[in-house]
């Protein structure tokens, strides 16, 4: 099972109007892909199309039928989707103040159900062709429980598990499944963070370069920066009492004064 190349077809990026999605769409175009960029903000998508390699396909990932129609349209216009980066996601600051069922429902509708709505037609089309590459954008925040992140962190944990399950299920069908676990990237989402300092914060262009390098290498996990990824996974291996103590200590140190 080879990794996708621009010769195999188009790339598809959700959540492409800003942040990691926008930077990755631009980086994929620079590497030779024709890129179908999807998001709800039509005007922001159109700003990407000046390169001639990026094509705007506005859409709402929370709408299952809409995603099926949109992916069919992309393949009719640009050819088969060889590489899909399912990146659309939200973090709602409302969950920081209290346990908020509405915030949890909205977060899951976009981060998890939105990914599922894209996966259904993509997996069907790639299975028919016996070839394809799909990356789910999770987060290092999905590896350990963190206060004020019951919705966002658990939605990303769900995507990590989903990617692992799909990797095992589709490995023999010619479909490469990957999971992307970034640390802190400067985006409109992280711009909302005012309570904690964000270690190893990087610009979206640097994150996009690492993500696209990971697409080309073809391994299952694309996680960065290595310092934060290593520490996060180490903490995950600790017994719960020690893990909670270390996380609490780290969060106290990171809290903005």
* Segment 37-64 mean pLDDT: 95
Q: Can you tell me whether residue 74 is helix, strand or coil?
A: helix
Structural element, H or E, at residue 77: helix 64-78
DSSP states along 129-167: HT-EEEEEE--GGGTS--TT-HHHHHHHHHHHHHHHHHH
* pTM: predicted TM-score of the whole model, two decimal places: 0.95
Q: Which residues contact 23 (CB under 8 A, 6 or more apart)?
A: 204, 205, 207, 208
CA 33 to chain CA centroid, nearest Å: 18
**What does the mean pLDDT of the chain come to?**
94
pLDDT digits (tens, 9 = 90+) for 82-91: 999 999 999 9
Fold of 6-254: Rossmann fold (3.40.50)
Per-residue pLDDT band for 256 (boundaries 50, 70, 90) equals low
Domains of the chain by residue range: 6-254
pLDDT of residue 257: 46
Q: At residue 251, what are phi and psi to the nearest 5 degrees? A: -70, -35
Pairing of strands 35-38, 54-56: parallel
211-231 per-position pLDDT tens digit:
999 999 999 999 999 999 999
What are the catalytic residues?
Answer: 152
Asked if residue 193 has pLDDT above 80, the reply is: no
The least confident of 112-126, 150-164, 240-254 is: 240-254
- The better pLDDT of the pair 95, 241 is held by 241
């Amino acid at each position: 099972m080879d990794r996708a190349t621009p010769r195999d077809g188009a790339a598809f990026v959700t959540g492409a109007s800003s942040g990691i999605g926008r930077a990755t769409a631009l980086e994929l175009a620079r590497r030779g892909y024709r890129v179908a960029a999807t998001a709800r903000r039509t005007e922001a998508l159109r700003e990407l199309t000046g390169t001639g390699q990026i094509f705007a396909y506005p859409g709402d990932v929370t709408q299952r039928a809409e995603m099926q129609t949109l992916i069919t349209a992309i393949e009719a216009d640009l050819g088969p989707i060889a590489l899909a980066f399912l990146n659309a996601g939200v973090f709602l600051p409302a969950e920081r103040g209290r346990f908020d069922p509405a915030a949890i429902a909205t977060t899951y509708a976009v981060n998890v159900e939105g990914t599922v709505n894209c996966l259904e037609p993509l997996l069907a089309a790639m299975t028919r062709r016996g070839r394809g590459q799909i990356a789910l954008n999770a987060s290092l925040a999905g590896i350990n429980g963190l206060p004020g992140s019951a919705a966002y962190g658990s939605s990303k944990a769900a995507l990590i598990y989903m990617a692992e399950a799909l990797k095992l299920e589709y490995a023999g069908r010619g479909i490469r499944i990957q999971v992307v676990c970034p640390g802190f990237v400067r985006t409109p989402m992280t711009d909302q963070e005012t309570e904690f300092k964000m270690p190893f914060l990087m610009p979206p262009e640097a994150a996009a370069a690492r993500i696209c390098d990971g697409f080309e290498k073809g391994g299952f996990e694309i996680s960065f920066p290595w310092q934060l990824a290593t520490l996060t996974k180490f903490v995950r291996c600790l017994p719960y009492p020690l893990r909670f103590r270390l996380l609490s200590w780290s969060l106290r140190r990171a809290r903005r004064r």
